[in-house]
Structure 1
Amino acid sequence: MKKFIFPTIEKVQISHFSLYKRTDFLDIDLTKDVFCLAGANGLGKSTFITIINFGLTGIVKNPERRFTWYNEITKFYNQSKGFASTYFDGRVSEDDYELAEVTIEFTIGDIKYTITRGFFEPDELRLFKRSTPTEDLIVSNEMTTSDLNELYKTCFTKDVKLAHFDQFVFLQSFVFTFDESHQLLFWDESVMERVLYLVFGVDADKAKLADKYRKEFNKHDSDFRNLQWQITKTRNELNGIMKSVNASKTDDTENIQIYEEHKFFIEKTEEINLEIDKKIIEIKECDLNISDFSLKASALRSEYESIFNKSLKEDIPLERNSEVIKILNDLKLRIYSSKEFDDLIQALVSLIEGQKKDEEEKQEEEYFKQLTSLDLKLSDISHQIANFQSRKDRLIQEHDHLMSENKVLSDKIYDIEKANEEVLRRIHKFKQENDYSNLIKGYEDQISRYSAQKDESSTKRSLVRDELQKLEKVLNQGYISAESDFIPIFNDYAKSFLGLDISIELSTSTRGANLSLNIQNSRRKDAFQLSESQRYFIDIALRMALIELSTESATFLVDTPEGSLDIAYESRAGKMLADFAKSNHKIIMTANINSSQLLIELASICKIERMSLERMTNWTLLSDVQQQESERIEEAYSNIETKLGE
């Protein structure tokens, strides 16, 4: 059941990415079955996975937010774009802010794509090419970078056979990537249900509809439960009549809207003021850094001037030269004995001139080294000052923009207050009202409204649930038709890692469709029922099975959770990954260099013909602590490379 044609990545080029300090340009060949970026912790391995996904999708997934925070694929896509600038801001310096970009070359079947995206331009493409064996896509010169991005999304969605681009972003983030956040499919029902509809549903449009219905069901269900809680709470408060009233007296919807709009603008103004304060602090930090570096520069210039002047005034001492002392003693004896001493005078002159010349050359060379070193330090400090000045200028622009927004909101607040002073005063006064008769009536009216709204939510929830059940039947049929292919694929991967009998089955509940996991005929409903390494690699096995089932070829991105692996499972994990790479799919992975057994097993199976190993040390610098272990790191690299070449 090959429903889709997902991208197979062949090359990634990264330009002016400041975190990778050894080079301004990386050209990475990904044509082999397995590409492994190996290195010590903290050097940017996980960032490489994020860069590829950002280039393809235009988003960076916020690791602090689970999918339930968005509860909808489209919302996840749209609201994840803004996190990209936050993520890359600390990894790209001010100097490289405009230059930093990623280019990705990939194929979708026999269609070749090339795209280039700036790291701070999630909705733009700097380059877009698409070519088939028979023709190339002609892109108009009048198209903007935003137009290119929209054209790319349209072509891409059609070529991979999805209904919407955000569906690909969702699958790339939660199925085709196992990243450092280690979010698991098996124990995340909100994600799993969407994945199942996309993979086992009849078509991508039905999956989009299921996503919509699930969002609506969750909303109505949440409203129903919240309203029931509100009814209980309000009744308790009514029984304790001395508590504050929690409902509005007026039924005037328009006035309530005015009050809520006024409240919203005030809250928004407070948020912007916090942002403004933050920008002011950041601008001051830039000023402090500029001032600090300026003082350092001044001190270095004084040192430079001192050394330079010293080089002009330095006298070369001769009185301690043993050869000079010997000639002077001989000269004294000849003078006392009235013997000829012209030859000694000539030898003394020659010696003094030679020594002075040697000493002067040595001293000049030392001064030159010192002055050159100071020049380099001054140049670096000047660069730092320019960097902070550039950041300060950008922050000032952002500060001014926030001030403009604040002015617009303040004007709106003033206009609302001027036109609705009495309404705002009356509603506010009622919220502070302590008249018991009005208070009791207010509680009773509120309970009636909550009850009516609860009944409405219940009705809507039932209607949406009926539609979901229709789609669940379609999902069940799709799963049953694929079960004979899917389960053996998953079992092969999972058992090769775990060494135990494993089975999965489709289950549905009011919370949605899910896959349940059974190990040795024991259901593992909760994640804590497995060890950390078991959870991670069984979930990777599930993703690989889903990929193999749904597409002929694809690229799987894995930020290897090697720190969780028991020693006994390291080689098994390497074999499982190698088996997947044999099935016409590719793996781009990162791994800690100390996870030698996993990488050695992978290298032993794939060899140099099917696997390439990239040293992280070619991209960036080791920390001081890591440099102390450089020999061990080099040994680990060599062991893996030896296995590749055997």
Structure 2
Amino acid sequence: MNVRRRLPTIEHVGLQNFSIYKERPTLDVEIRRGVFCLAGANGLGKSSFLAAINFGLTGIVTNPDRNAFASTRKFYTNNLEYSRHYFDGRIDELDRDTAEVSLRFTVGSRRYELTRNLFEPEALRFLRVVSETGEIVSIETDDDERRHENYKRLLLEDCRLSSFDQFVFIQHFLLTFDERRHLLFWDEQVTTPMLYLAFGIHAEDAKRADELTHAVNRAESQRRNAQWQATTARRRMKELGVDDIDEAAFEGLAERHQNLVDQVDAHANELHRLQREAADARLDLADVSAEYQALRHQYDKVFSERLKAHSVPRLHPLVAEALQTNRCSVCGTEGSHIGVRLSEKLDRHSCPLCDSAIERESPTAESFESLKRVDTELAATRDKVKAAQVRRDRLDKAVDEALKLHSSSTQALEDFETANEKALPTADASISSLLDQRRVAEAERKRAMERRDEWRDKRDAARRELEPLQRALRSAYETAETEFVPAFRELARQFLGLDLDVFLDMADKTRFVLGLEVQGTRRRATTALSESQRFFIDIALRMALIQQMTEPSETVTSYIDTPEGSLDIAYEARAGAMFGKFVRSGKNMIMTANINANQLLLRLAEVCRSEHMELVRMTDWSALSEVQASEEALFDEAYSRVEAVLSRVEEQQGAVQQ
């Protein structure tokens, strides 16, 4: 029986100390059913909002520089380290420990509430999962990692999946169309595991199919390598240029050697990155320290000018600093009693140092305000110095650890090369050893042929185990074809205005591919569509797969960072209509878009109405650039046009009901 998945429906997003949004670093956003449209401008952090939600759900932010996809498990593990550092530079240094994303969402009949620190991909600071009857089913624990494991277990039960990497895969490659602009339609490496999950294959079988596909491809790669080694050995025999090496051991040594080289390179790259950041941190500290000293000098100067007219001990730099820091500026003693005693003497109008009576202070308003202003700036700059010191110390510690790792891996490589020097190929070969070399090359060729045959057998065995799963997928697709293909056709027609069908085919012996049929003609190339058109056709495919994967009653949330491409106004309007059709089918969408004069949002507003669409102005969250601020009226005008459409449609609906 085909299995329908259940996937998260977002209800609330909370961001704590999300420094990217300078104007509103702490946010609580309720997500209504239908379309939640976050409309803003370039550089305001629209994509970061989607990244924060995905990080909250999965602990993962996809690395845009790692495009190769091998399996769902490798995708998850390969992106964990990148995700730990994704928010570096986006979150202020002093906010690292408190920067969090909180989510409330439902999966099936359960409601989830969680909080995740933005630098902890495998830990949760809070988790509550409540059943339909109100029972709390999540465990009570103070262990953030254990809490995360409990979240994964409950989520897999509700989603009807067998591994957390399957959920991560669906969330990032199906539900999310982000700034990577990855095209699911034209990537058979990703399409294949997605089809197993989308067309109801049991989660364990889908997982096994993914593993077997990876095993077949790996075995085929090893078979080709062995064939190449055999060919190389035969060529070396002819050239009489082979070396006396133990080929059976050499393959393992070469792999180990390459792993050590890769490890040294990785540690070196990380060390250089941290050293650059540490150097920047020291420069930042020097800058703010210089700024602080300049303000101290300015304070002393203003105070000295006041002394010429009247002595005000309370505002003397040494006294003022001691009052603020509870540290004696003369002997260095620290404690709350410092400030108390100074205040008592000043209140008695006595000099804090010599106890001489002083006249009551009567500073002029102008000079007093100058001192207050400089004092305020000093306090703010002192905080900057503290933050810069914390960042410098953190990065210096990280550099020390990276140095140790790099030194350790470098030493391991040197030790390995020294220990295996004789096993590796040498440059010289004497004439007296040519016959021995020929025999060695022949033995090497035979061993390579044996390895080739072994890997071929492993490949064929994996293929045989995979074939029943492939047949199950074809059968599931044929069963669902009467629903899935029309759903895609309707969505695609909303956008292109053409009869566009999709068909299942094999890219090779292990991987499936979806092909397009335009006006009855099958086309595998994408040249007939512009880049922007391919983006929206791919979104249409995702929408159809989501509808196929879940029950009609499941209001799963998808996430779209709207492509700001080169569509003309006609296609913009049709893209908006396509989005609206998907939402009116009962699914939810969180989307981001630049607010401008295009027709996508206007048509979407017409289709969804205020009942199914909420427009959120993001320009209040973050500071506009100088250019954007100078033309802010244009943003207001564009917002107003969309809001007017929402209001007009609502009024028309009310009039019809009356």
Deviations 1:146-168 (A, max 9, x none): 11111110011011111222111
The aligned counterpart of 1:22 is 23
Deviation, structure 1 residue 563: 2.5
The match for 1:286 among 281, 285, 291 is 281
> After alignment, is 521-530 or 582-591 more displaced?
521-530
Deviation, structure 1 residue 21: 0.7
The aligned counterpart of 1:581 is 583
Corresponding residue SS for 1:92: coil
Deviations 1:321-357 (A, max 9, x none): xxxxxxxxxxxxxxxxxxxxxxxxxxxxxxxxxxxxx
The aligned counterpart of 1:590 is 592
The aligned counterpart of 1:76 is 75
Deviations 1:9-37 (A, max 9, x none): 11110111110111231001112311011
Provide the C-alpha distance between the structure 1 equivalents of 2:6 and 2:214, rounded to a whole number of angstroms: 27
The aligned counterpart of 1:329 is none
Question: Is contact 1:187-1:526 (8 Å) kept?
Answer: no
The aligned counterpart of 2:501 is 503
1:272 matched to 2:267? The reply is yes
1:275 to 1:506, Cα distance in 2 relative to 1, 3 A: closer
Provide the C-alpha distance between the structure 2 equivalents of 1:287 and 1:249, rounded to a whole number of angstroms: 52
> After alignment, is 101-110 or 273-282 more displaced?
273-282
The aligned counterpart of 2:246 is 250
The aligned counterpart of 1:360 is none
Question: Is contact 2:138-2:150 (8 Å) kept?
Answer: no
Question: Is contact 2:463-2:510 (8 Å) kept?
Answer: no
Provide the C-alpha distance between the structure 2 equivalents of 1:602 and 1:279, rounded to a whole number of angstroms: 46
> After alignment, is 379-388 or 515-524 more displaced?
379-388
1:408 to 1:620, Cα distance in 2 relative to 1, 3 A: same
Corresponding residue SS for 2:115: strand
1:594 to 1:241, Cα distance in 2 relative to 1, 3 A: farther
Matched ranges for 1:6-17 at <5 A: 6-17=7-18
Question: Is contact 1:433-1:439 (8 Å) kept?
Answer: no
Matched ranges for 1:25-36 at <5 A: 25-36=26-37
Provide the C-alpha distance between the structure 1 equivalents of 2:265 and 2:7, rounded to a whole number of angstroms: 45
Q: Which amino acid aligns with 1:63?
A: P
The match for 2:634 among 627, 632, 635 is 632
The aligned counterpart of 1:382 is 382
Question: Is contact 1:248-1:442 (8 Å) kept?
Answer: yes
Deviation, structure 1 residue 100: 0.5
Q: Which amino acid aligns with 2:300?
A: E
The aligned counterpart of 1:617 is 619
Corresponding residue SS for 2:181: coil
Matched ranges for 1:462-611 at <5 A: 462-508=460-506, 509-552=508-551, 553=554, 554-594=556-596, 596-611=598-613
1:140 to 1:7, Cα distance in 2 relative to 1, 3 A: closer
Deviation, structure 1 residue 391: 1.3
> After alignment, is 73-82 or 364-373 more displaced?
364-373
Q: Which has the higher helix share?
A: 1
Provide the C-alpha distance between the structure 1 equivalents of 2:640 and 2:510, rounded to a whole number of angstroms: 50
Provide the C-alpha distance between the structure 1 equivalents of 2:445 and 2:30, rounded to a whole number of angstroms: 66
Provide the C-alpha distance between the structure 2 equivalents of 1:267 and 1:578, rounded to a whole number of angstroms: 49
Query: Runs of 5+ in structure 2 lacking a partner?
Result: 311-362, 649-658
The aligned counterpart of 1:322 is none
TM-score with structure 2 length normalisation? 0.83
Deviation, structure 1 residue 586: 0.4
Deviations 1:41-80 (A, max 9, x none): 11110111111111111111111122xx340111111221
The aligned counterpart of 1:352 is none
> After alignment, is 366-375 or 117-126 more displaced?
366-375
Question: Is contact 1:13-1:25 (8 Å) kept?
Answer: yes
Deviations 1:299-329 (A, max 9, x none): 23323333444456589xxxxxxxxxxxxxx
Corresponding residue SS for 1:518: strand
Provide the C-alpha distance between the structure 1 equivalents of 2:75 and 2:81, rounded to a whole number of angstroms: 11
1:265 to 1:472, Cα distance in 2 relative to 1, 3 A: closer
Provide the C-alpha distance between the structure 1 equivalents of 2:261 and 2:222, rounded to a whole number of angstroms: 26
Deviation, structure 1 residue 272: 3.0
Deviation, structure 1 residue 277: 4.5
1:264 to 1:472, Cα distance in 2 relative to 1, 3 A: closer
Identity of aligned residues (%): 39
The aligned counterpart of 1:105 is 104
Deviation, structure 1 residue 112: 0.8
Provide the C-alpha distance between the structure 1 equivalents of 2:3 and 2:410, rounded to a whole number of angstroms: 56
Provide the C-alpha distance between the structure 1 equivalents of 2:178 and 2:415, rounded to a whole number of angstroms: 49
Question: Is contact 1:110-1:133 (8 Å) kept?
Answer: yes
Deviation, structure 1 residue 252: 7.0
Deviation, structure 1 residue 382: 2.6
Deviation, structure 1 residue 368: 5.5
The match for 2:427 among 424, 432, 438 is 432
Query: Runs of 5+ in structure 1 lacking a partner?
Result: 316-362
1:275 to 1:186, Cα distance in 2 relative to 1, 3 A: closer
1:191 matched to 2:190? The reply is yes
Provide the C-alpha distance between the structure 1 equivalents of 2:126 and 2:539, rounded to a whole number of angstroms: 33
1:166 to 1:425, Cα distance in 2 relative to 1, 3 A: closer
Deviations 1:510-538 (A, max 9, x none): 25111111112333313333111210111
Provide the C-alpha distance between the structure 2 equivalents of 1:229 and 1:410, rounded to a whole number of angstroms: 31
Question: Is contact 1:201-1:474 (8 Å) kept?
Answer: no
1:252 to 1:465, Cα distance in 2 relative to 1, 3 A: closer
Matched ranges for 1:4-403 at <5 A: 4-66=5-67, 69-137=68-136, 139-241=138-240, 245=242, 249-250=245-246, 253=249, 261=256, 264-265=259-260, 268-269=263-264, 271-310=266-305, 367=367, 370-403=370-403
1:258 to 1:471, Cα distance in 2 relative to 1, 3 A: closer
Provide the C-alpha distance between the structure 2 equivalents of 1:472 and 1:275, rounded to a whole number of angstroms: 42
Deviation, structure 1 residue 638: 1.4
Corresponding residue SS for 2:580: helix
Corresponding residue SS for 2:615: strand
TM-score with structure 1 length normalisation? 0.85
Provide the C-alpha distance between the structure 1 equivalents of 2:244 and 2:123, rounded to a whole number of angstroms: 47
Q: Which amino acid aligns with 1:250?
A: D
Corresponding residue SS for 2:422: helix
Deviation, structure 1 residue 449: 2.3
Question: Is contact 2:505-2:514 (8 Å) kept?
Answer: yes
1:566 to 1:232, Cα distance in 2 relative to 1, 3 A: farther
1:307 to 1:602, Cα distance in 2 relative to 1, 3 A: same
Question: Is contact 2:536-2:575 (8 Å) kept?
Answer: yes
1:230 to 1:629, Cα distance in 2 relative to 1, 3 A: farther
Corresponding residue SS for 2:527: helix
Question: Is contact 1:34-1:612 (8 Å) kept?
Answer: yes
Q: Which amino acid aligns with 2:81?
A: G
Question: Is contact 1:10-1:105 (8 Å) kept?
Answer: yes
Provide the C-alpha distance between the structure 1 equivalents of 2:7 and 2:390, rounded to a whole number of angstroms: 41
Question: Is contact 1:34-1:611 (8 Å) kept?
Answer: yes
Question: Is contact 1:43-1:622 (8 Å) kept?
Answer: yes
Deviation, structure 1 residue 265: 4.7
Deviations 1:566-619 (A, max 9, x none): 222111111111111111110000001115411111112222222111111121
Question: Is contact 1:533-1:566 (8 Å) kept?
Answer: no
Provide the C-alpha distance between the structure 1 equivalents of 2:72 and 2:612, rounded to a whole number of angstroms: 35
* Structure 1 vs Structure 2 CA RMSD: 2.7
Q: Which amino acid aligns with 2:169?
A: F
1:241 to 1:252, Cα distance in 2 relative to 1, 3 A: closer
> After alignment, is 451-460 or 15-24 more displaced?
451-460
Corresponding residue SS for 1:173: helix
- Which structure has the larger Rg over C-alpha atoms? 1
Q: Which amino acid aligns with 1:29?
A: E
1:138 to 1:73, Cα distance in 2 relative to 1, 3 A: closer
Q: Which amino acid aligns with 1:391?
A: R
